[in-house]
């Protein structure tokens, strides 16, 4: 730990403070104003500096990779984030007008997209392809923790290429033991979400017994574990800890076994379709048990698959109502999203992707060396130092400050929503959370 801090302090010598240039609204939310991010890239010898430089020819675009779940059962999660990244490029000229010709340090920006397939295999294939392209400045991704943890985060870090996730939440990704030096995220750490879900079940609902079901993903496993630790610490009892395969479809025998322990709540923070099928089958077998999932469940296809059984199921996620009434998000961002993509947001991480792109843009402004011929040299290490120096930057999801282990959402508000009033396309009724709580990362460490 001490060595990490010493190296980071040495790397940050010469840090510059930049004022984020973007829109702000009158209630404090914005697409990125105030705060700082930056380390000067000037005077760097790209032939000798560690990881070298990204060279952008005069007139050529700056290329940002994405590695998101854009096909299969989790496509609504990854496509939502990719759309948020696209809107950030649209906003380079200060307006959300559908034009992607705004410039960053005199160059346009384009995306090179890979599919993480919400799996380790997809993360490995996509990260390997992106790492092999020297024109890629950084990567927005992954959608799923399983595609990042020990896979994409390591492949890209070994190349000195930033991986900035809008929706990875597994605590291991930013742990002392496993953190890769070029990985960071604007998504929350599930140590926070697990604690808040526990508070909802134990304190708000007054329930003292609960069971958990998690699939094989690091996301679900880590979130269920965080819930159990906090629930037991509060005085609750865990009656069953069960694991499933995300490809399973018949959960009735498992749910029948869990029901014998009479849990008052069942927490299953799994991805769809498993999450929706568990809810649908549990409604028959455990009709009096409170059912709650998390943001892996909270997508359009949950409501479609679960049908009438969705009504009354809870799910936790970042509380969009915290910034949903901000002038920029409500009056500019959401209308532009629907105009450009023909739909309302299909998940909850579009805003995190928008913010991830914008702190990357600010870091590029700081680290890039503008050459006399109009080309750019962007030292990878200087870019990494610049974005990790982000502090007090006001995005639409809140104030972003990145710590040395890559957690940039360190003050997080999590809401619990009740279906069908979920904040996704196809949701209906009141989309305000029935419970909302704010915690910092320090609160749960």
Average pLDDT, the chain: 90
Q: Which residue has the higher pLDDT, 22 or 308?
A: 308
Region 143-166 average pLDDT: 98
- Answer whether residue 7 shows pLDDT above 50: no
pLDDT tens figures, 405-444: 999 998 899 999 999 888 776 665 557 899 999 999 899 9
- Answer whether residue 32 shows pLDDT above 90: no
- Answer whether residue 198 shows pLDDT above 60: yes
Region 36-56 average pLDDT: 76
Residue 226: predicted pLDDT? 96
Residue 426: predicted pLDDT? 61
Instruction: Give 47's contacts (C-beta < 8 A, 6+ positions apart).
Output: none
CB 20 within 8 A of CB 29: no
| SS3 state at 20 | coil
Region 245-253 average pLDDT: 96
CB neighbours of residue 4 within 10 Å:
13
- Answer whether residue 93 shows pLDDT above 60: yes
Longest CA pairwise span in the chain (Å)? 74
Determine the Cα–Cα distance for residues 115 and 118; give it in Å rounded to an integer. 8
- Answer whether residue 12 shows pLDDT above 60: no
Determine the Cα–Cα distance for residues 231 and 208; give it in Å rounded to an integer. 8
CA dist 329 → 332, 334, 413 (Å)? 6, 6, 17
Question: CA 424, 429, 431 angle in degrees (round to 5)?
Answer: 50
Residue 322: predicted pLDDT? 82
- Answer whether residue 23 shows pLDDT above 50: no
Residue 3: predicted pLDDT? 41
Minimum mean pLDDT among 137-151, 156-170, 338-352: which range? 338-352
- Answer whether residue 29 shows pLDDT above 50: no
| SS3 state at 245 | coil
Instruction: Give 183's contacts (C-beta < 8 A, 6+ positions apart).
Output: 148, 153, 156, 157, 162, 163, 165, 173, 174, 406
pLDDT band at 43 (very low <50, low <70, confident <90, very high): low
Determine the Cα–Cα distance for residues 71 and 326; give it in Å rounded to an integer. 31
Determine the Cα–Cα distance for residues 199 and 415; give it in Å rounded to an integer. 11
Q: Which residue has the higher pLDDT, 358 or 23?
A: 358
Minimum mean pLDDT among 16-25, 283-292, 386-395, 431-440: which range? 16-25
DSSP 329: I
Instruction: Give 331's contacts (C-beta < 8 A, 6+ positions apart).
Output: none
Residue 39: predicted pLDDT? 39
What proportion of the chain, given as a percentage, has pLDDT over 70?
A: 89
Residue 156: predicted pLDDT? 98
pLDDT tens figures, 129-144: 999 999 999 999 999 9
pLDDT band at 356 (very low <50, low <70, confident <90, very high): very high
pLDDT winner (highest mean) among 40-54, 227-241, 408-422:
227-241
What proportion of the chain, given as a percentage, has pLDDT over 90?
A: 79
Q: Which residue ranges form the domains of the chain, and what is each CATH number?
A: 2-41+51-187+349-408 (3.40.50.2300), 191-321+414-444 (3.40.50.2300)
pLDDT band at 25 (very low <50, low <70, confident <90, very high): very low
Residue 423: predicted pLDDT? 76
Residue 36: predicted pLDDT? 59
Q: How far is CA 316 from the centre of its chain?
A: 14
- Answer whether residue 30 shows pLDDT above 70: no
Determine the Cα–Cα distance for residues 401 and 410; give it in Å rounded to an integer. 7
CA dihedral sign of residues 250, 254, 257, 261? negative
pLDDT tens figures, 372-396: 999 999 999 999 999 999 999 999 9
Q: Could you tell me the pTM of the whole model? A: 0.87
């Amino acid at each position: 730990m001490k060595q990490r801090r010493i190296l980071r302090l040495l790397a940050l010598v010469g840090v510059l403070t930049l004022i984020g240039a973007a829109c702000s609204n009158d209630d404090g939310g914005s697409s990125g104003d105030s705060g700082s991010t930056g380390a000067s890239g000037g005077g760097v010898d790209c032939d000798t500096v560690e990881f070298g430089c990204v060279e952008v020819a005069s007139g050529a675009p700056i290329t940002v990779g994405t590695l998101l779940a854009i096909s299969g059962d989790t496509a609504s999660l990854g496509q939502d984030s990719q759309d948020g990244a696209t809107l950030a490029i649209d906003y380079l000229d200060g307006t959300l007008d559908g034009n992607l010709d705004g410039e960053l340090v005199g160059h346009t920006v384009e995306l090179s997209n890979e599919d993480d397939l919400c799996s380790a295999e997809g993360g490995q294939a996509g990260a390997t392809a992106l790492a092999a392209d020297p024109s890629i400045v950084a990567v927005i991704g992954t959608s799923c923790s399983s595609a990042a943890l020990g896979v994409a985060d390591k492949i890209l870090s070994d190349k000195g290429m930033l991986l900035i996730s809008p929706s990875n939440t597994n605590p291991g990704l930013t742990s002392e033991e496993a953190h890769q030096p070029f990985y960071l995220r604007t998504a929350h750490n599930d140590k926070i979400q697990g604690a808040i879900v526990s508070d909802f079940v134990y304190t708000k609902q007054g329930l003292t017994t609960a069971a958990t079901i998690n699939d094989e993903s690091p996301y679900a496993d880590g979130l269920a574990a965080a819930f159990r630790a906090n629930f037991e610490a509060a005085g609750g009892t865990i009656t069953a800890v069960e694991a499933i395969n995300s490809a399973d479809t018949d959960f009735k025998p498992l749910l029948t076994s869990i029901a014998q322990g009479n849990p008052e709540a069942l927490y299953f923070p799994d991805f769809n379709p498993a999450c929706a099928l568990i809810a649908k089958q549990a409604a028959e077998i455990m009709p009096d048990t409170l059912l709650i999932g998390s943001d892996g469940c909270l997508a359009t296809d949950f409501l479609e698959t679960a049908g009438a059984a969705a009504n009354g199921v809870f799910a936790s996620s970042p509380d969009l109502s915290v910034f949903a009434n901000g002038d920029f998000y409500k009056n500019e961002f959401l209308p532009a999203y629907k105009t450009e993509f023909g739909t309302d947001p299909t998940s909850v991480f579009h805003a995190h992707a928008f913010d991830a792109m914008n702190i990357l843009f600010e870091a590029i402004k700081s680290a890039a060396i503008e050459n006399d011929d109009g080309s750019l040299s962007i030292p990878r290490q200087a870019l990494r130092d610049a974005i990790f120096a982000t502090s007090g930057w006001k995005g639409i999801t809140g104030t972003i400050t990145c710590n040395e282990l890559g957690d940039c959402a360190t003050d997080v508000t999590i809401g619990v929503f009740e279906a069908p009033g979920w904040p996704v396309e196809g949701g209906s009724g009141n989309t305000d959370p029935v419970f909302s709580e704010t915690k910092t990362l320090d609160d749960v460490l």
